[in-house]
Amino acid sequence: MKSFDRSDSKLVLAHVLFAFAALFIGGVAGLLQSMVKSGSIELPANIGYYELLTAHGVLMALIFTTYFIVGFLYSGVSHTLGGKLLPVSRKLGWYGYALMSVGTVMGVIVILLGKASVLYTFYAPMKASPWFYIALALVVVGSWLSGFGIFYQYIRWKKGNKGKLSPLFAYMSVVTMLLWQICTIGVAIEVVVQLIPWSFGWVDTVNVVLSRTLFWYFGHPLVYFWLLPAYICWYVVIPKVIGGKIFSDSLARLSFMLFLLFSIPVGFHHQLMEPGISPFWKYLQVVLTFMVIIPSLMTAFSMFATFELYGRSKGAKGTFGWVKKLPWKDVRFFAPFMGMLIFIPAGAGGIINASNQMNAVVHNTLWVTGHFHITVATSVALTFFGILYWLIPAITGRVLTPRMNKLGMIQTIIWCVGMFFMSGAMHIVGLFGSPRRTAYNTYNDHPDAVLWMPYHVAMAIGGSILFIGVILIVYNIIGLLRAPRGETEYPIGEVSEASEKTPAFLERWGLWIGIAVALIVFAYTLPLVDMIMNNVPSPGYVTW
């Protein structure tokens, strides 16, 4: 077994550790938030609820995820495309890391100074300090450099291996970064063309609906930027961890390409309740949103098939006998599996959110907060946690001990229990109408609002349990870094012998990018022209 390249190991580890530092600080902000929301505590004089909310959202949803994803993708690209990163790719990785880190530190300082409590969606006409927008622009540009590093390594590998099918992990990493590059163009235009000149005072007003549209052009594929790396683990790593095979290489590649096509031209389903966008374009983008159900169900099918084939190879009988054969006591399987299981209600909730009438029921309620806490903060986060237990040992030349495995199992259970209370309460009270993004408020003791209170307390209880989970995952990382020396294999699954040969058109990048661009142009051109021609300008507001 070839050990992981030392220089690459440093780059990957730097990203992973930064990600979890952000998770810890964001976790403190989240804990305090849930306590304030339930009326359990009052914050000392100068700390505002909305500062905490912004810090929590930015650090968890943007920084933790992006750093972990870049680190994870670089590790797999290094391992599967030649065993080490090319000097250019590694340099781009480090430049990206530096730029993102400067942006993160700057952004957090501006938020904590109370100059940018615009929530993580930075919705105009709420106006933050220009340095907040500049900070986040640096994070995005840094992530672009990291993406270029992955593209460079892939292109060079393809040139040196003409006619060969690229490794599945690398292929999926390129799709993920391609999705990211295409979607972040929207938010980059919003920040550079609209928000920075406006917040510096160079222009007096902002086109609100245009800025929100550009945000959601980025904001929905952002969800898939979080999910696709988790799917890489599910498709490529989990089969190896359980001792089974990848069900189908072609199915996996096709599902990723469909995610690329159908996760971008769909931002309007986040704006269903907004005026200024014609119902036809909202309808069209809802239809495109529902197309994402196809690759999602392909993924579910593929996972079930991998598990069933493995179970049957071990002698399982009956329709569900294979379930018993899965390695339930191995955290490398258990944590991502819980992520998969919880993705079932999460996905069902997503379909509800994207349906026009039902969006009216849940829009801007705590249901939505509950929804993204089981998608990104459970399905994605638990998968990322599960990755740690083999990634850190594999890149640092250590082994996962039974004790660390047990601690990982406990951490996973704590996370699921905490999220059951917190996200469950959010979903239910959201259906009762309790709004999201609001500090403690009894609404003059209105009877409806009083009924929400027990759920807000359940959210705080769940949030406190989750914070224990945050502390334990940090402890576990320290434990993994101090584990005994030894060799740990980087787990890459092999494709089942029963599966068909992968067709070459799945690697015709020009074709897929062309279709993606055509769909985006079709779904967005006329609505954008309409928004620019019929501008309703607004001055900025500091609402906090």
Partner 1 sequence: MPKPEDKKEEPALKGTFASVMLLGAFIILTWIGVFALFMARN
Give the residue numbers annotated as catalytic, written as ranges: 220, 224, 371-373, 436-437
The answer to the question of residue 273 lying near partner 1 (CB under 8 A) is no
The answer to the question of residue 352 lying near partner 1 (CB under 8 A) is yes
Q: Among 10-18, 58-66, 318-326, 486-494, which window interacts with partner 1 (CB under 8 A)?
A: 318-326
Among 105, 203, 348, 451, binds partner 1 (CB under 8 A): 348
What distances in angstroms separate CA 522 from CA 271, 283, 519, one per listed residue? 18, 13, 5
Give me the half-sphere count of Cα atoms (radius 13 Å) on the Cβ side of residue 331: 25
Q: Which token pair is 492?
A: 């890459």
Among 21, 126, 286, 351, binds partner 1 (CB under 8 A): 351
Taking the complex as a whole, how short is the minimal distance between the CB of residue 493 and partner 1, in angstroms?
16
Binding mask 470-509 for partner 1 (x = CB under 8 A): --------------------------x-x-----------
Q: Binders of partner 1 among 391-450, rule CB under 8 A?
A: 431
239/491 Cα distance (integer angstroms): 9
E strand or H helix that includes residue 532: helix 509-533
Q: Binders of partner 1 among 143-172, rule CB under 8 A?
A: none
Identify which of 328, 278, 318, 250 has the alpha carbon closest to the alpha carbon of residue 496: 250
Taking the complex as a whole, how short is the minimal distance between the CB of residue 159 and partner 1, in angstroms?
34
Among 3, 40, 355, 364, binds partner 1 (CB under 8 A): 355
Among 347, 386, 393, 469, binds partner 1 (CB under 8 A): 347
Is the separation of the CB atoms in 220 and 263 below 8 Å? yes
Q: For residues 117 and 353, which CB has a smaller minimum distance to partner 1 in the complex?
A: 353
Neighbours of 362 (CB within 10 A): 21
Among 192, 193, 273, 344, binds partner 1 (CB under 8 A): 344
Taking the complex as a whole, how short is the minimal distance between the CB of residue 390 and partner 1, in angstroms?
26
Q: For residues 37 and 270, which CB has a smaller minimum distance to partner 1 in the complex?
A: 270
Taking the complex as a whole, how short is the minimal distance between the CB of residue 343 and partner 1, in angstroms?
10
Of all residues in the chain, what percent are helix, strand and coil, respectively (each to 5)? 75, 0, 25
Q: For residues 431 and 439, which CB has a smaller minimum distance to partner 1 in the complex?
A: 431
Q: Which token pair is 502?
A: 């992968």
Q: Among 125-133, 212-220, 355-363, 521-529, which window interacts with partner 1 (CB under 8 A)?
A: 355-363
Taking the complex as a whole, how short is the minimal distance between the CB of residue 448 and partner 1, in angstroms?
13
Q: For residues 300 and 410, which CB has a smaller minimum distance to partner 1 in the complex?
A: 300
**Torsion angles phi and psi, residue 452, rounded to 5:** -75, -25
DSSP 20-83: HHHHHHHHHHHHHHHHHHTTS----TT--HHHHHHHHHIIIIIIIHHHHHHHHHHHHHHHHTTS
Identify which of 93, 132, 124, 84 has the alpha carbon closest to the alpha carbon of residue 205: 124
The answer to the question of residue 314 lying near partner 1 (CB under 8 A) is no
The answer to the question of residue 320 lying near partner 1 (CB under 8 A) is yes
The answer to the question of residue 301 lying near partner 1 (CB under 8 A) is yes
DSSP 232-301: HIIIIIHHHHHT--BS-HHHHHHHHHHHHHHSSTTGGGGSTT-TTS-HHHHHHHHHHHHHTHHHHHHHHH
Taking the complex as a whole, how short is the minimal distance between the CB of residue 269 and partner 1, in angstroms?
15
Among 43, 141, 300, 542, binds partner 1 (CB under 8 A): 300
Taking the complex as a whole, how short is the minimal distance between the CB of residue 304 and partner 1, in angstroms?
4
The answer to the question of residue 337 lying near partner 1 (CB under 8 A) is no
Helix orientation angle between 402-431 and 447-481, rounded to the nearest 10 degrees? 160
The answer to the question of residue 319 lying near partner 1 (CB under 8 A) is yes
Judge residue 203's burial from the number of C-beta atoms within 10 Å of its C-beta, 0-12 exposed, 13-18 middle, 19 or more buried.
exposed
Taking the complex as a whole, how short is the minimal distance between the CB of residue 242 and partner 1, in angstroms?
15
Taking the complex as a whole, how short is the minimal distance between the CB of residue 26 and partner 1, in angstroms?
29
**Torsion angles phi and psi, residue 436, rounded to 5:** -85, 170
The answer to the question of residue 358 lying near partner 1 (CB under 8 A) is yes
| Residues in binding contact with partner 1, number by CB under 8 A | 30
Q: For residues 37 and 245, which CB has a smaller minimum distance to partner 1 in the complex?
A: 245
Radius of gyration of the chain measured on its C-alpha atoms: 23
The answer to the question of residue 361 lying near partner 1 (CB under 8 A) is yes
SS3 letters across 217-233:
HHHHHHHHHHHHHHHHH
Among 312, 314, 363, 437, binds partner 1 (CB under 8 A): 312
Q: Among 31-39, 356-364, 442-450, 512-520, which window interacts with partner 1 (CB under 8 A)?
A: 356-364
The answer to the question of residue 308 lying near partner 1 (CB under 8 A) is yes
466/253 Cα distance (integer angstroms): 35
SS3 letters across 446-502:
CHHHHHHHHHHHHHHHHHHHHHHHHHHHHHHHHHHHCCCECCCCCCCCCECCCCCCC
505/151 Cα distance (integer angstroms): 19
Interface residues with partner 1 (CB under 8 A) are 297, 300-301, 304-305, 308-309, 311-312, 319-323, 344-345, 347-349, 351-352, 355, 357-358, 360-362, 431, 496, 498
